[in-house]
Structure 1
């Protein structure tokens, strides 16, 4: 989540739209349409310009939106709108890494040094597993950047970042722990390195591997790895960042290499629900590796495994997935282990309020209602 928020100059217009879709084998009644509309409106009111969601339950599928797609207009958000999914990219990349493990081309306990000699200090003691579960101790390169609301962030808009450059910025700082594998510390640097390792193992870019191993087989036609392309293809809401002295600045188009291998994905609510259903249903990984993915790096520690996180709802149901912060877009995507209930919500934050409590209420309603 973004940590600094400025008051928006323009208040979003309240617009709500919904579409009901019968899921395969589902009864015709949708899952609490009116209540879901109200909950999504609450999320938007709490801190968003626009919001879009897809919920799947035993009763059917609901897709809805709230707010506007662009500040200064009354144009509603489209239910099929695309957005930058941020760190949800990590689950896609982790899935590819684990598929390579399943093929015997890579081991979770391989040291980074074996694949990327000299890339990081202590590379002989940091493993692939520790990169995946954020226990490597590597400093997060994102913390070295100028971030909103500082106007200096705008200089990054069209810049192409290389993985080597991002790693170099990270290792110029001391590690977050003295011994790899002993403490959780979220770091995008680990996923930059994983992207490089995938390229070393396969001879192809991590984006190509995600495309051929996940996007095409699952027919995620509205999901893409944009690389350095600044555009979001297809319909999409505009995203904004707060800049001191300027209020909200439209940051929809930007060079996503800033987010790197752990954050560049563009997707839709429908595609993300389908991806997590297939992943947790065992159709992308064998059971032992899926269990590894669901195992925290530190016993009893943070609810984060190998590119997959989880939360316990107020009714005690554990749901798996991830959330993503791409500054101008924020996304949550979670699924019950049996795949019977799913929710994906994306917002364009207004950087004024805080939607977290309303988002928690939305998810609790879906998974506990």
Structure 2
């Protein structure tokens, strides 16, 4: 199977447009370089988030539940203009963690016999998707459809940045994806594609008669009492106190500049990445899912069948149906990451759902200079340290010693 991947980390690109092609994929919890796990940070969550803010983050929060004890760490600001401090309970843009919500909705319908994972999308959206007779629902969920990822279209994102408050329709996003050649024939490769999840959102609407925003509330948020979770349509409902503002961040000559994105439209993300939530709600969602209380066993097993991405990503990662499997230095986790124009998020839980870690950094990077900027490297190492300390704390283990 052919596999291809775009940049999965904001700030690794040399130009703004190319960097923005990486949004909605965020930063997967990958193996941190040994140097980042050096002993002076030990297992201190607060020390690690403080260090990340010192490295350039506007704010960062982490919530860790090891199955016995809940720990939180928070540092920095939720709003640079008012100097409002970030709180661990603040809402934030979850980015591509939205994909797990959409996958759950799809699998719930499969369990009810209202759609089939291996049926062509043409059956549910006639005449909408090019080559839709050969692209199945499963392929869309697992990024094996070959559909071009619309967030990798440089011209489209230049237009979004030029007018970030404009509302984009799902049809416009699909048009961008469909006007570009596919990466490969359906089922013959793997490439992260937000386009596939916009298609899934339209399919869910067609099958149920309800938009994804409503389905998330009815089928997930309300039953799980996720009171702070919703799909932004098209903007964050209330960017005031209780919400962590996001910041599009540029690095040039070691200096950071920040643009507040909290009033920008999230319509460009839609059913691929427009969920707003909290660390608590996201931990509850993924814990309930992996604990087997959100989907029937058969559908959860389908969700956990992964494509191995270790070779191309340089880390032991597999992608299922809207769900990552991550082998970390301290244990196996399941979850998803997310990136928007102002946030970088991750939620990971243990295989039984009893342990969880969720976090947000309210920066998304654009570097107009070389991606090797030392300031950006320092930021990445500090963020990696936060993730490593947090996930090891989730598993109740010490951070591995530097080799």
Does residue 1:229 correspond to 2:238, yes or no?
Answer: no
1:254 to 264, 271, 284: 264
- The CA RMSD measured in Å over matched residues stands at 2.5
* Preserved contact between residue 147 and residue 193 of structure 2 (Cα < 8 Å): yes
Separation in structure 2 between the aligned mates of residue 230 and residue 75 of structure 1, nearest angstrom: 18
Separation in structure 1 between the aligned mates of residue 183 and residue 116 of structure 2, nearest angstrom: 24
Quote the offset at 1:102 in angstroms: 0.2
- CA deviations on 1:115-149 (whole Å, 9 max, x unpaired) are 1122122110000000000000000011114588x
Separation in structure 1 between the aligned mates of residue 178 and residue 242 of structure 2, nearest angstrom: 39
Of stretches 273-282 and 111-120 in structure 1, the one that deviates more from structure 2 is 111-120
Structure 2: segments with no counterpart, 5+ residues: 1-8, 15-41, 312-316, 366-375, 399-403
Quote the offset at 1:224 in angstroms: 1.1
- CA deviations on 1:218-250 (whole Å, 9 max, x unpaired) are 000011112113444551222111369993211
**Structure 1 160/247 Cα, relative in aligned 2: closer, same or farther at 3 Å?**
same
Separation in structure 1 between the aligned mates of residue 215 and residue 90 of structure 2, nearest angstrom: 25
2:353 to 328, 333, 339: 339
- Return the TM-score normalized by structure 1: 0.85
**Structure 1 324/350 Cα, relative in aligned 2: closer, same or farther at 3 Å?**
closer
Separation in structure 1 between the aligned mates of residue 138 and residue 363 of structure 2, nearest angstrom: 33
Helix, strand or coil: the match of 2:335?
strand
Quote the offset at 1:59 in angstroms: 2.9
- Return the TM-score normalized by structure 2: 0.78
Separation in structure 1 between the aligned mates of residue 390 and residue 93 of structure 2, nearest angstrom: 20
Separation in structure 1 between the aligned mates of residue 187 and residue 383 of structure 2, nearest angstrom: 30
Residues 104-143 of structure 1 aligned to structure 2 (within 5 Å) = 104-143=113-152
Aligned positions, number: 339
Quote the offset at 1:64 in angstroms: 2.2
Query: Which has the bigger relative contact order, CA under 8 A and spacing at least 6?
Result: 2
Separation in structure 2 between the aligned mates of residue 260 and residue 35 of structure 1, nearest angstrom: 36
Of stretches 221-230 and 261-270 in structure 1, the one that deviates more from structure 2 is 221-230
Residues 263-278 of structure 1 aligned to structure 2 (within 5 Å) = 263-278=273-288
* Preserved contact between residue 44 and residue 347 of structure 1 (Cα < 8 Å): no
Of stretches 41-50 and 244-253 in structure 1, the one that deviates more from structure 2 is 244-253
Match of 1:328 in 2: 342
Helix, strand or coil: the match of 1:344?
strand
Quote the offset at 1:154 in angstroms: 3.0
Helix, strand or coil: the match of 1:85?
strand
Quote the offset at 1:347 in angstroms: 0.8
Match of 1:13 in 2: none
Separation in structure 2 between the aligned mates of residue 298 and residue 135 of structure 1, nearest angstrom: 12
Match of 1:213 in 2: 219
Match of 1:290 in 2: 300
Does residue 1:91 correspond to 2:62, yes or no?
Answer: no
**Structure 1 356/184 Cα, relative in aligned 2: closer, same or farther at 3 Å?**
farther
Separation in structure 2 between the aligned mates of residue 328 and residue 362 of structure 1, nearest angstrom: 23
- CA deviations on 1:25-45 (whole Å, 9 max, x unpaired) are xxxxxxxx9822122223333
Match of 2:60 in 1: 51
Match of 2:177 in 1: 170
Quote the offset at 1:313 in angstroms: 1.1
Separation in structure 1 between the aligned mates of residue 237 and residue 213 of structure 2, nearest angstrom: 16
Separation in structure 1 between the aligned mates of residue 357 and residue 111 of structure 2, nearest angstrom: 29
Does residue 1:362 correspond to 2:389, yes or no?
Answer: yes
Separation in structure 1 between the aligned mates of residue 54 and residue 251 of structure 2, nearest angstrom: 23
Residues 63-78 of structure 1 aligned to structure 2 (within 5 Å) = 63-71=72-80, 74-78=83-87
* Preserved contact between residue 169 and residue 267 of structure 2 (Cα < 8 Å): yes
